[in-house]
Structures are given as structure tokens and as C-alpha cells.
Structure 1
Amino acid sequence: MVHIAWLGKKSPFCGNVTYGLTITEALRRRGHGISFIHFDTPTGFPLRRDDHEPEQHPDQGPVYPVGSAEAPEVALPYLVKSQVYTIPSPGAQRELRESLERLRPDLVHASLTLSPLDFLLPDLCQQLGLPLVATFHPAFDASLRNLSAGTQQLTYQLYAPSLARFDRVIVFSELQAEVLARLGVKRSRLAVIPNGVDPQQWAPAGQEPPDSGVAAELAALRHRFAGRRVFLYMGRIATEKNVEALLRAWRLVQPQGCVLVVVGDGPLRPSLQQAIGAEDQVIWWGYEPERARRLALLQLAEVFLLPSLVEGLSLALLEAMASGTACVATDAGADGEVLEGGAGIVISTQGVTTQLRTLLPVLRDQPVLTAELGRRARARVLERYTLTRNIDALEQLYAELVPTVTVAA
């Protein structure tokens, strides 16, 4: 078994948080030791700018200050923390070093948080003699077709020289690996390990664990939306997610008997909600912390829509696919790769409103088509994107870096 010092995020809620909590829990179930190091406000430190924000993730565990004998969980102080980036306090690097010296892990796995500390990790781990693995999350559009994609490309250019010094860099698709390879990261150091979901937890109606509480949630949702067919967006409401294009298409089509449910929160929600107003065909659900209710929403939905301008590999998309929901997504990041070959409908990041304006009436009028797309989506997840496959690949990578340590078969 391997003792892993996992450097990542636990709040505010975002894909990086979901990834870190899911992967570390799966590794623990296989017997590996996890010391979770993340940015929070340790005891004795002054309040930070976002300390009064409500906690957005229900799985947040106890937090211990650096040096506590109870750790394996360590809190590093920060100045600013958001869904996109983190600015650590001046003493965070020293405290990270002290925690690694105390914990003495076999390796460090950094789920990179877009923080200045990311660039210091190669030198720190080299000095401590620790193998260093990164998971590189920033979304991308390899074709550079829009402004958001250009901004993300700058992030890749900024990180590439540092990533070239990591022992391994995990990315989610071959396209993402090609982007980094063109920027100078050796292909031998890049490991393509796609995101994965548990298809037993994320499953069509009636196939989820009987004690999960999902059936009761689904019954309540069916009562609430009786007589209306649900189209669903679930994710952050931010510029790169391009929710505005989806809303424009919905207003132009106004599909009769259908409702668009927008699940999530983000900086653009107030302005978009004000622009749309209190339309009966659009439900602003807000952030949903309960996994059982999120799954019930996916099971109820006829179509899951993801109009992003840039992506990595969307966990929300994989969860929708595993739940048997028909999916429509742009070809940003690896999402098009996930749906290609009939597992869903792939549209371009250019002209999203125009394409959805054409597709929405077809999806409304062809329930047999959406049912078949949902069946194919789940089959694709079972074939390529399970959490088990992800953890198997991670264990193999760890074994290459720590050959004296035995990993689970």
C-alpha cells in the first residue's frame, strides 16, 4: 500500500473538489493511506476574506492545524480562495514543508489548485526526496476557437515549464496531452487517466442502491414536475460554461410542455436570472448539495445540456451519462471525445445558440431518440469511464514511482 500526501481542495465546491474527494475516498477503500493537505484557516490564524461564506460541500471533513498529532488532514492558510484560484498566505510554503517532513509520505499527489504554490512543488519535493504527481485540471479547447479558449491556453503556457519537472502529470484526454506536449512537457511524463464515476452510485432509476434515498427524491420530483418534460443543466454558472447561449436558445424555441432546470451557482447567476426573469419554463434551482437529489434530477431529466466554451472532462457529464440521461455537449476539452460515435450529441463551441435552436425541437419531439441516447451514454461509461478503471490506472502509476511499495491487485 502507498501513503499519499494529497494536496488539493475541499472548498469552495468545484470539479477539483469533487475529483479530490472521490479519488481519495476510493484509494482509502483500497487500503492506501491518505494525508489530505488543503487550503483552509487553521486554528490560531486570522479570518480570511471568504471565511463567512457558507460551506458549499456536504462532505467536508474535520480540519486539523499543521503540526497536530491527529492529522492526516492538514490545513494551510490562505489569503484568497475561489472556485478558480487560490492565493496562499506567505507562510504556507513553510507549513507545507513541515507537514510533509512530519507525515513522511511515499509520494505527493497535487490536484493542482491554480495557486502560486503549484510552481514551488517540484523544488520542494526534490529537496525532500519525494516523487511528485500532478493532476492538471484547467479546461481547454484545443482548436482555440473563442476568447475563453485563448485565455485557458495562456494558463497551459504558464504551467508547462513547471509541469515538465513533475515526475508524472495526469491529464484527462489525449487532446489535453497533445496540448502540453506541444508546450514542452515530455510525453513520457504525461499519463492520460480519464475521470471516472461509480456506475452503481450513478445509475438509471431503479438501478441505484436501494438504501440511497434516491427513489423518494425522484418521486417528489415527478410530483413537482408532473406533466412537464425536464431538460437539465448542472454545473457552475460562469462565462466558460456558456449558459447564456443555452438560455437564448431556450427562449427562442420555448418548447411546449418542457421545462429547463438550471442547477448550480456562480458569478453570472444573478445577471442571467435577472435577464430571463420569472419565466415558468426556466427553473433556477441553485446549488444542490445532496447527492441523492442530484441523481434524482439526472434520472428525471430527458436531456442533459452542457454548452461549455472550454472544458477538461466534465464529471457532471459523466454522472449524467451513467444515470442514463441523453446528453448534448460541445466538443470543448474531452467532452466531445466522450460522446463521439453515438453516445450523445456533440455540437461545436461556435454558434451554440443556433445549433441548440435546431436541436431542441427534435429532442422534444423524439422521446424514442432520447431514450436510446441515454442507453448508449451509460454503455459508454461502463466501457471507458468507471471509477474502478481510474483507480487501477492510478495504482499502476504509483507503483512505477514507488516500486518498493505493493499496490492492490
Structure 2
Amino acid sequence: MRIAQVLGDSKFGGGVWVILWLAQALRAKGHKVFILASDPVVSKKFRQEGFEVYTTKYFRREIAPVSDIKAGFALARLLKSLRVSVVHTHTSKAGFIGRIAARLIGIPYILHTVHGFAFHEFSTKKSILFYSILERFAARFCDRIIFVNQKDYDWALQLKIAKAQKMRVVYNGIDWERIAKIKPYPNLRQELGLDKDTILLSFTGRLSRQKNLFLLIDALALLPQNFCLLIIGGDLDCGQELREYVKKLNLQERVFFLGFRTDIIPLIKVTDIFVLPSLWEGLSISLLEAMAAGLPVVASNIKGTNEVICSGENGLLFSPQDKKELVNKILSLIDSSGRLNSFAKKLAQAGEATVRNRFSQAQFAKESLSVYDELIPSRELVTVGSGRIEDNPPKAEITDNGKRACDLIVASTLFILTLPLFLLIAITIKITSGGPILFKQIRAGRKGKPFVLYKFRTMKLGSPDLRNPDGSTYNSPSDSRLTKIGKFLRKTSLDELPSIINVLKGEMSIVGPRPDLIDQVSYYAKGDERRLEVLPGITGLAQIAGRNQLPWRKRRRFDCYYVTRLISLRRTNPIRALLFDLSIILRTIPLVISQKGIFIPTQAERPNK
């Protein structure tokens, strides 16, 4: 199958290695894998490994609405041109934009890996609420969510981001056999001017506030003078500040910044203790590599890390903000002669065994591929004579994926924008007429399935159900059943606002045939049942063609034409199907403003049935 791995603006780090190994495993199975990334270092690495890499200039790490929307459309066009059947997104920003874009164009299979949420243990409650709402929304646009640690999985369940059947945990893994064969960097201590009594600490990773390196430098200042620190990694958001802080504490001769390096394993094998003081992680590749390299590890007690390390057995954990505890943990690994003690060596050996048994690259690849296998039916892969696997994808263009994605985006936006008006109308109804705020009625949904339609109540309590002779509902400007606020709501179509809730629940669409009462289906002429083949809508082709001023039979004909046209466009051009709906939405706006076609100029009668 043709598979796109969407990285967005991810910088080179442990997460990128994991995606590379996944891409290689998929390629080894015969799949065609495309990489969508904008960082030049990341793009270069994947090209060196033989992958086709595509990019868009609009991806940014920070929230930038205009660029994000541009990135979404650019990504949708790119994915469509690549003819992929599977999209796998990574990181929060690329995952949010990528999942929506992929679903909009009808990609049949969408996965997302949470390498770490945009919120964490030290986030404010407001931040957690905001980002969890975004994650819950984005989760609707994918089929599987993969977590790299159990804590994030549990947190997602707690925050109701997605249901358990959609989520999986796959721990990161590394090639420990390759690491075991690598020799230490020769003469590094001599190049740094260190003597044989120096205890050399090491850290690898991006220089960012997330990594909590200021605490590590504070801890170094409290350690004896023969302790030095090797920092390996490219600058992200605080490299210059760190260098200035080291100078402020007069530690220039004890802290060594080596910058971005590709020979990390030989370098850390020269050091004595690996320290990872991060405030949050997904599941650190640097941690696993240090353990595989045979180093005793001291790390902060955070999610992901504490699923790898059992403190005192295969490493040591400390409270993320406690520099004195960090100092004590480091000193506990040193004997009276100033060398690593037997406890440190025991932890290092146990750490190596942990990686071999639980966090191997082979295990990671096996579990990752199993997620693909359970999601994608085996019948969709056809092995041909050459032994390669080619696509036999499902008819994605005739699914409701793109339409449902648009519904969610439009309905969510409308709900947020109209919420103050929603509350004002609700209060007004309650004050002026008493009784319930919402009018709830059973209507016929897709395939005739009953659902509860929500509208603002416009009629007086106890009003009778009146119909026209053809079975359509009676609707007149002189209807005595309407309340004062009800007449205004009907005239402005504001009574339809609560139907947005039906759209969000998946019972209705923004565009589609208007939902009829259950008993009205019995009035249908031959062929009218076709209008029940799609979700009913808030607006539709019949509404822009004349609304209630058209005879009910003619409205049903417009609805049937809409369904036929929509299904035809889905088969031939899914984008045109979405544009067809968009044109109806745009043509609805002036009709609502002009208040045309709202009322039916017909004498009412009580229904016979």
C-alpha cells in the first residue's frame, strides 16, 4: 500500500529515529512509504535512507491559524496527489492538521502516534483543558491512536479523548545490538583536558526548556569539582541562555557543549553516568540508548521514564524539581575512592537487560506493524508475481469521511461562535414563555433510523400538530400557536441553531435533505425513499431552490436529485462532492438573511394518520 508518514516541522531527535525505523519496517514489508516533513535536517536524513520526502512551507510548531489552515489545504492536495491509502501522523501540530486533512479527502486509514501530548504533568488546568479538547476533536478524524507510554493512554481515557478500542500502546525500541558493538570515542577525555579522576556526566537531547537542563547545571554546581558535564544536542529554545548561565555560575571548565552530533553513542560511552532531568517525555530514545550503552542512569520521575526505570533496580529516579535529590542520587553511585561503585555497575547491567528484553527495535517494529495489520483487512493487500505488494484500496471516495470531517469543522466553529447567542435565546425563551427551551421531536434519519431533532421551542405549550393535506407540516406567519419570540426565531431561522448538536452527534449533516417526521415517510411517492440514503441536513438543495414555498413533493424531488448527484460525485471526484455541499451552504446564507421561503401558504388540517 501507499503510506504517508506526516512529521510536520518535527526537529531531529529520538522521535524521528522511531519514525525512520517504522518506515523501514513498512518498506521491508513491500509498502511504498512517503515522508512529509519540513525540517531540512530531518528531510536530509530520510532522503539518505532512500525515502521520497515532500514538504510544505506552512508547517509551524506554534499555533498560527492562517499558516495552519494553509498547511491543511497544502497537505490535502499533496496527499491526494500521492494517492496514498494510509496516513500516519506524528506530533501534536502535524497530527491535528494531518488527521483532518486526510479525512477531508477520504483517506481510508488514518493513524496518529502521540509521542507526548502538548500538555503534561506541569501544565496548568486551563492548558490541559484546552489541548485535551483539541485532541478529542482530532481523535474523531483517525482510526487508531498509538501511545508510546501507558500514562498517556490512561490520561487519554480519563480525559475522554478517545475510546479504548481506538487506542493502542506501543513502546519505543532501539537497535541495542548495534549499540553494543560501537566502540567508545578515542581520546575524548584528553581532548577535553580532563584527568583520570574526573567523573563525567552526560546528557543527550535538544537544548530546550522541556529537558530541564538549568536544574542539571545547578546540581553540577553542588557536586565536587571533579564532576564535569557533557551536553550533546542541537539548540531548540534555550541554548544561548544555558551557555550564559554556565558562565554566570563559573562552570565553563566543567560543562562542555558539543552541539548536534551523529556520533552520540561513541561519545556517551566515554562518560560515567547518564542524566536525564526532563520535565516531560513520551518515551525517551536517549534514555534507552544510554542504558543500552551500559551507563548507570539517573532520570526524573516522569511518565514514560518511570515505565522504563524501576528506581534502585535498573536506574535511579528523582523528583523533577529537586536538585538536591538529584545530587544525592548521583553521589550514591560513587565510592570512597571517587570511582563508580558496585551499585552503579549493577544498575548499568540491569539497564542493559531491560532494553534487550523490553525495548528492542525488533519488538517495536513487530508491535507497530500489528496495529497496521489489525486496522487494514488482509484482503486489501494483493501480492503480485514480483513479490511486491500493490494497492487494492477500498473505494474511499464513496465513504462519508470527507463530508463528516467538514460537518465537524463547520458545526464546531458555528457552535463556538454562536454560543453567546445560543445562551441569550435560551434565557429569553425561559423568561417570556416558560416551559422547556428546546423542542425535541422524533425524526427519520439516515435509512429511516429514528433520532431526536433539537430546535428552539417556538410554539406555545400544548399546541396541536397541524398538517397540510399532502402530509407536510403546517407553517404560516399567522400561526396562532407561535409565541412572540417564536415568530422572531422562525422568521430569522434561529430556531434551527440547536440542530448543530445533532450534527456534532453524527445524526445530521450540515447539508442534506430536511428530516421528516416518522409518519411522513408513509406519504412518500415511489423513489422518494432515496432521500433517506444520506444523513438529513440543516440546509439542502430544496431549501435554496425555494424552501417551504415549494410543494412538499417537489422538495422531495430536489432531495432525491441531491442524493444522486452527491453519490455520483463521491465516486468520481470527492473534492467536487465537498464543493457541491459548500456551494449549497454559501447560497443558503443570503436566503436566511432575506427571510425568503420560510412559511407555507397552505390551509392546515389535522393529519389523518
- TM-score, normalised to structure 2, is 0.55
2:154 alignment counterpart: 178
Distance 1:402 1:282 in 2: 53
Q: Does structure 1 residue 300 correspond to structure 2 residue 270?
A: yes
Q: Secondary structure at the match of 1:202?
A: helix
- Deviation per CA, 1:230-270, whole angstroms, max 9, x where unpaired? 111111222221111111111012x2433111222232221
| Structure 1 segment 324-403 matched on structure 2, within 5 A | 324-340=294-310, 342-351=313-322, 353-365=323-335, 366-403=340-377
Could you give the per-residue CA deviations for residues 136-156 of structure 1, whole angstroms, max 9, x where no partner exists?
Answer: 1225887x4x35798567534
Shift of 1:313: 0.8
Say if 2:6 and 2:98, in contact at 8 Å, map to a contact too: no
AA matched with 1:349: P
Give, in whole Å, the separation in 2 of the partners of 1:86 and 1:362: 47
How many angstroms apart in 1 are the aligned matches of 2:117 and 2:333?
28
CA distance in 1, matches of 2:20, 2:118: 23
Residue aligning to 1:121: 99
**Which structure carries more helix by proportion?**
2
Aligned length: 369
Instruction: Could you tell me which runs of 5 or more consecutive residues in structure 2 were left unpaired when the two chains were aligned.
Output: 389-609
User: Does the C-alpha gap of structure 1 residues 381 and 71 become closer, same or farther in structure 2, counting only changes over 3 Å?
Assistant: closer
Residue 46 (structure 1) aligns with: none
Cross-structure match for 1:8: 7
- Give the superposed CA RMSD: 3.1
Q: Does 1 or 2 have the higher relative contact order (CA < 8 Å, sep 6+)? A: 1
Residue 76 (1) aligns with residue 56 (2) = yes
Which residue identity does 2:37 align to in structure 1? Answer: H
Match of 1:212 in 2: none
Describe the superposition over 1:135-193 as per-residue Cα deviations: whole angstroms up to 9, x where unpaired: 11225887x4x357985675344312312442000101111101111121101111100
Alpha-carbon offset, residue 356 of structure 1: 1.2
CA 1:25–1:127: 2 relative to 1, 3 Å: same
SS at match of 2:317: strand
Residue 107 of structure 1 is aligned with which of 74, 86, 92? 86
| TM-superposed deviation, 1:73 | 2.6
Q: Is the 8 A contact 2:230 2:258 kept in 1?
A: no
Query: Match of 1:66?
Result: none
Q: Match for residue 19 of structure 2?
A: 20
Aligned to 1:49: none
Q: Is residue 172–residue 194 contact of structure 1 (8 Å, CA) maintained in 2? A: yes
Rate the CA distance shift 1:90–1:156 in 2: closer, same or farther, 3 A.
closer
Counterpart in 2 of 1:59?
A: 45
Q: 1:192 aligns to what?
A: 169
1:167 maps to which of 139, 143, 155: 143
- Kindly indicate whether the alpha-carbon contact (under 8 Å) linking 1:5 and 1:37 is maintained by their aligned counterparts in 2: yes
Is contact 1:85–1:113 with CA below 8 Å preserved after alignment? no
Q: Which residue of 2 aligns with 1:261?
A: 230
Secondary structure class of the residue paired with 1:329 = strand
Q: What is the distance in 2 between the residues matched to 1:148 and 1:194?
A: 27
Superposition pairs of residues 121-270 of structure 1, within 5 angstroms: 121-122=99-100, 124-125=102-103, 127-139=105-117, 144=121, 146-147=122-123, 151=127, 154-184=130-160, 185-203=162-180, 207-208=181-182, 215=183, 218-224=185-191, 225-227=194-196, 228-253=198-223, 255-264=224-233, 265-270=235-240
**CA 1:140–1:367: 2 relative to 1, 3 Å:** farther
Matches within 5 A, 1:259-298: 259-264=228-233, 265-277=235-247, 279=251, 281-290=253-262, 293-298=263-268
User: For the Cα contact (< 8 Å) 2:85–2:107, is it kept in 1?
Assistant: no
- Match of 1:43? none
Asked if the contact 1:141/1:333 (under 8 Å) is kept, the reply is: no
Q: Which secondary structure state, in structure 2, belongs to the residue aligned with residue 36 of structure 1?
A: strand
Amino acid of the residue matched to residue 316 of structure 2?
A: I
Percent same amino acid at aligned positions? 23
Greater mean alpha carbon deviation, residues 127-136 or residues 30-39: 30-39
Q: Which residue of 2 aligns with 1:44?
A: none
CA–CA separation in structure 2 for the residues paired with 1:120 and 1:380 = 35
Q: How much does 1:134 deviate?
A: 0.1
Unaligned runs of 5+ in 1: 41-53, 64-69, 209-214
Deviates more, 1:312-321 or 1:54-63: 54-63
Cα distance, 1:280 vs structure 2: 5.1
Q: Aligned equivalents of 1:152 and 1:305: distance in 2?
A: 28
Tell whether the 8 Å contact from 2:148 to 2:304 is kept in structure 1 after alignment: yes
SS of 1:399 mapped into structure 2? helix
Aligned partners of 1:218 and 1:296 also within 8 Å: yes
